[in-house]
Structures are given as structure tokens and as C-alpha cells.
Amino acid sequence: MEGAQAQPRIYFFVNPLGPPTSADYQHCIISFAEGLQDLSICFDSNNNYYNLGDNQSHSHFLFNKKEISTIDDYNKYDILVAGQTARIPKNILTYSKRKYKTILLDWSDGINTYIKDNVAYYDFYFKTSYNKKLFPQANVYPLAFCLTNRIINTVNSIECSDDYEQRHNTILYSHRIQHYIRQIMLRHYQKTPKIVYFFNDGFKEPTANTTEYLHWHQSGRRHNVNFYKTLLDSKICDCTGGYFAKFSSQSSSTYIYQVDSFKLWEAFAAGCVVICIDFDRYGIKLPFQPINGVHYIGITADLGELNRLSCHIENNTIDLESIAKKGKEWALSHYSPKPFAEYIINTYNTHQSPKQYRSPQAVCTMATEGVINDLKIFIYSLRLFEPEIPLYILCDTKTKEIIEKQNNKNIYLYPLLDKYSGKNRTQMEQENIWTEFMLKKCDIIDIVLDKYSDVLFADTDMCFLNSLPPINHTKQYQLGASPHFIKKADTDKYGYYNGGYLWVANKNITTQWKEYTKTARFFEQSAIEDIVKEFNSFEFPIQNNFGWWRLFQCDHPQQRYEKFSNCKTTGDILFDGEPLRSIHTHLTSNTDVNMPMFNNIIKTLLNKGQNQNKNYMRLLIFLRILTQC
């Protein structure tokens, strides 16, 4: 009855840092890991690697070492990842009892330097300068060098004019290694020296024990700040590279290999017009293909074309600013760490089960003025992690007036609860209208199901700590319920499922819920057991809707408490190794003796993770302000 997809557990194989001249800079692996952090996906590794500190004496690593005792322990992970330099050991690749999938990111020079003898060992093999004719295997996918936070942040930190026209109308040629195609371009540029600026940093070493030296060392003497300043002062950058070859001795058609480079993405990030080989003309496929003349200027070995291009540049008859702007936007939207990681993970998920999971289409809740602080926390935390999802709220008039003043987007208020305004649970139970009030959940669910195919209902005292759980839509589920995960004696009394967290995708469910409530042992809550039996259902994992009762009313509270932790790489609160997605508690008031202790545990974990997870920092500030009002 599982319907929510857990985030993959990932283990990296990386090599330790070497000296500057042979640092083993694992660029694509770094970009992928940075993107995983942005996606709140935790990972471990076999070595501490890539220092994020201010200098080499202050170590804070992107990759943190986790010892693995036996080969079978790798089965605790869903994916094992490596680059072509570190690689996954053969005994792990060929382990007969393995459950994990393997991924190799190959940005190596040449054509078959590693792929030829190793592609069959990996489930997913990503290759730069990808050409389907060269790599016809079904498990080989396009890869690009991509952008890292180092490139993006450094470019953004350098002061320069935002006016593209203030840049020099020259082509920056700054290659330190001369490929065959670069030599062709060099000979051409030497004929038109007016429009070319030559730059070579000569691997100049920055001042020792500085942040700049640390980055220079870790990147194998790359990403020089002076080079970035030169990029930001240039309209155009030559990013050509690679070699021509024939498919066979009998073939007249040619292909190009080794065309990708760090410079290509540095130039895009710096807002330069990129000149490189025409990807489409030579069959080079990227994960997301740019358009020649829109995002970059693609060239061939045709000298006539090169001469015409030079004339257009010299006479300013090409809209360079448009190409530069669109190229930068394209690169940042597809090749920043987060979208790059999404590409890798989506490829993995698609292979596992195409289009299997989807988040709820909408969220709904209900509230009166008495729980306005809970509702404010509900809205604020939901928007931190799901900024666009529609939110429908059944409320009283006073609550509607308060929420409307906050100018929240994509929130729809239905003031139909004035009958219950100003009354707490004890008062409504005395008036025998508590069950009637609880079943108003059905009304707001029905309202949303008239507009969307499914909806997640959550009680107002819910605080979201991560994205909403994806639902497996290939199973055609109609209902998702959240077990209490508490002692049997308590579920026998209060119900096996919690009434404050329910995913619904069938309009008949609310009708039957009301009907079963008439004979239920505990208000509307225990009636969920009956509708679960009637409709195709799944259970949400324990990381969703985690209430104080789930910790203190279980058989072994201490053991359950010890399952809480923070992810070392993202700061996310984890429970049993998986991200904690939502908690069910009153964070600004106490309705149970155990609630303050539970709230303190959560706030302590939020504090531990806030340096890495900025949404946690924002939530803590919001809670502090709310309690002071």
C-alpha cells in the first residue's frame, strides 16, 4: 500500500584532492552534488572531498566520508555514482546481490578512453560530447560540463557594467591547450587581429592561504578570477575545441569529439556570445540542446563561413546582445547545479518507472480565528517548499479578513464556518457539534475536487519542512491515509489513521466517509479505516504528518527519538534516514503535556540545519516574530 516515492539515497565514489598540477578536479560530480543539495537529497561518499571553507586550513566538505563495512551495505543506497577518474570498484559493479543502480559521469578527453571497456558495467552512463552514432548503447546518455556554484557565484561577485554595449567588441581567445579546431580558429583570427583579444593566464598562482587559492588548487589551476574579469569585459568568447575524425576508413563523413570545455560554460555564465562548433551539424547532443543563432554562434570548418562571421562582427551586423542574453538564460536554466541534478535524477526515475510519480495537484485545510497562528505557519511553511501549489481554505469570516490582508497568492478562501467561530473543541463537544465540524473537511475536499483530480487535505496545525510527497499515479490510487504509528491500545481507541492528513482522488470518498462516521468509535477519524478498505488506497510513510503523539505514544519512544538527525550535506531534518516532510503540532501553543518537548526537539533540529537549509532559517525567524506579536 505504498504510494509515496522516497528520495533516492546516493553514495559517491570520489578521489581525494591532489596537488594543483594533478588535482583530479571532478567538476561534473561537484555540479551534480551541489544540485542534489538544492533538491534536498542527501548523499554520502567514500572520501572527504571539495572543501567549501574559506581556505585549506578551514575544512568544510561538499562530500563527507562515510565508512562502509561490507559490500552488502551498499544496498542501503539506491544509487552509486562516480566519475571516470574515481570509478566504482569492479567487485561492487558486478556484485550478484546488488539492489542499487550505478551511474558514471564521464567528461574524459578523447573518444573511448574509459567508456569502451566499462559502459556495460553501469546502469546509466553519461558522456560529454555525446554522439548517438559513436555511443549507440541504450544506457548511454548526453552529459555536459555544466556550471558549478563556484563559476556562478564568482561571475556574479565581480563588479562590472550591466550594459552589454560597454564591453569590448572583440572575440576573446584564451585557450591554453591547442586542439586541432582551435588551431584552425587561431590561424583565422591572426588574419583579423582587430576583432580578437588574446589572453593567457599562464597558470598564475594566487596568493597562498586565500579562498581564491583554494579554488584554484581544487580546480587544477582553473577558474581564474582575472580570466572572469576579462570575460565580463568581452562581448564574444571563442569556445571552440575538439578534433575531426571519420566514422570509418571507408566513410567520407566526419564527426567531432572532445568539444565540451569549462570555458564554454564560463562564457555562458559571464554573458558572452559563445562561438563553438555547430552542435547540430556534427551530431553533438547535449541534455538540453541550444539553438544556433539564438543561444550561441555555431561554426564549421568552412573558411568562407568564418570570413563572413568575422565581417558581421567587425561591422556590428549581428544582434550580439540578444544572443548573449538568451545564451546566458538558457545555460543558467538548464545547466546550473539544480537543473543538472534534476536531469540525472529524472533520467534515473524515468528508467525506473516512466512518469510514475506526481505531487498533489492542490492542498486544502480549514480554520477559524482561534487557530489563526497555526494557519499562518501552515501557509508560510507550505510556500517555502511549494510556492505555486493552489491552497483552498474553509474558514470563518474573521479568518478570511486576516488572511486577505497578507496578499498571499494562489489562496482561495471560503468563509462558511461562522457557526463555529470563537468555539474550541471542548465547547463544540459540549454542544454536540464537534463531529459535524470535523466533517466540514469533506466540504472543502469536494470544492477542490470540482476543480482538480486530486487534493491533499492537511489539518491547520501542520508545518511543512520539505516538499509534498509524490504520489504513485500508475497504481490508480484513490485515497492516501496517514497511520498514527502509535501503540495498538491507542489506535484501538482513536483509530489506526490520523484524520488530519488525507489525499483524495475520488469524489465518492467524502460521501462514504460521512456515512461510516455515523457508526465510528471515535468521531470521523476511526471511520477512515472503513473507507481505506473500500477504495484503492496507500499509506503515507512515517516522515509525513509526524505528530507529537507519534513520538511519545509509540512502544519505544527513545529508539524512535534516536532516528532523528540532520543531513550533513543539506541540513534537512531526517527521520530514519529520509527527509521529514511535515510535522503535526501547535508550535505557538500547548494542548498536551508532551507537545513542548516535541516542539523543542524539532526547533533544535531546525537550528542545526539552518546554515545549510535557508528555508529552515526563514521558518525559525518567522516563528520568532509570530510568538512575539
Helix 440-449 and helix 508-517, axial crossing angle in degrees, nearest 10:
170
The pLDDT of 529-540, averaged and rounded, is 96
Compute how many other C-beta atoms are within 10 angstroms of the C-beta atom of residue 494.
19
Q: How confident is the model at residue 172 (pLDDT cuts 50, 70, 90)?
A: very high
- Long-range Cβ contacts of 388-392 (<8 Å, 24+ apart): 389/359, 389/360, 389/361, 389/362, 389/363, 389/468, 390/361, 390/362, 390/363, 390/448, 390/452, 391/362, 391/363, 391/364, 391/365, 392/362, 392/363, 392/364, 392/365, 392/444, 392/447, 392/448, 392/455
pLDDT score of 254 more than 60: yes
Cα angle 344-7-44, degrees, rounded to a multiple of 5: 80
The pLDDT value given to residue 487: 96
Cα distance between residue 543 and residue 619, in whole Å: 19
Given a contact cutoff of 8 angstroms between Cβ atoms, the answer to whether 583 and 463 are in contact is yes
Q: Kindly state the percentage of the chain with pLDDT values over 90.
A: 72
Every domain of the chain and the residues it spans? 10-143, 151-335, 358-628
pLDDT score of 208 more than 80: yes
CATH code for residues 358-628: 3.90.550.10
More confident position, 250 or 343: 343
pLDDT score of 408 more than 90: no
The pLDDT value given to residue 313: 85
Of 285, 238, 236, residue with least CA distance to 257: 285
Q: Kindly state the percentage of the chain with pLDDT values over 70.
A: 96
The pLDDT of 81-89, averaged and rounded, is 93
Q: What share of the chain is helix, strand, coil (3-state, %, to 5)?
A: 40, 20, 40
Gyration radius (Cα) of the chain, Å = 29
Task: Write phi, then psi, for 217 (nearest 5 degrees).
Answer: -65, -50
Strands, E, within 174-292: which ranges?
Answer: 196-198, 234-238, 243-246, 254-257, 273-277
Assigned fold of 151-335 = Rossmann fold (3.40.50)
Cα distance between residue 34 and residue 146, in whole Å: 12
Given a contact cutoff of 8 angstroms between Cβ atoms, the answer to whether 425 and 459 are in contact is no
Predicted TM-score (pTM) of the model is 0.62
pLDDT score of 79 more than 90: yes
Given a contact cutoff of 8 angstroms between Cβ atoms, the answer to whether 448 and 364 are in contact is yes
Cα angle 427-428-429, degrees, rounded to a multiple of 5: 90
pLDDT score of 95 more than 90: no
pLDDT score of 378 more than 90: yes
Compute how many other C-beta atoms are within 10 angstroms of the C-beta atom of residue 14.
25
Distances (CA, A) of 153 to 227, 333, 336, 547: 14, 15, 11, 39
Cell numbers of 198, please? 588574446
Each residue of 112-126: pLDDT tens digit? 677 777 888 899 999
The pLDDT value given to residue 216: 92
Given a contact cutoff of 8 angstroms between Cβ atoms, the answer to whether 569 and 606 are in contact is no
Q: What is the largest CA-CA distance in the chain?
A: 93
Q: How confident is the model at residue 556 (pLDDT cuts 50, 70, 90)?
A: very high
Cell numbers of 416, please? 462558511
What's 287-300 look like in SS3?
CCCCCECCCEEEEC
Give the burial class of 426: count Cβ atoms within 10 A of its Cβ; 0-12 exposed, 13-18 middle, 19 or more buried.
exposed
The pLDDT value given to residue 57: 65
The pLDDT value given to residue 90: 86
Q: What is the mean pLDDT of the chain?
A: 91
Cα distance between residue 489 and residue 223, in whole Å: 63
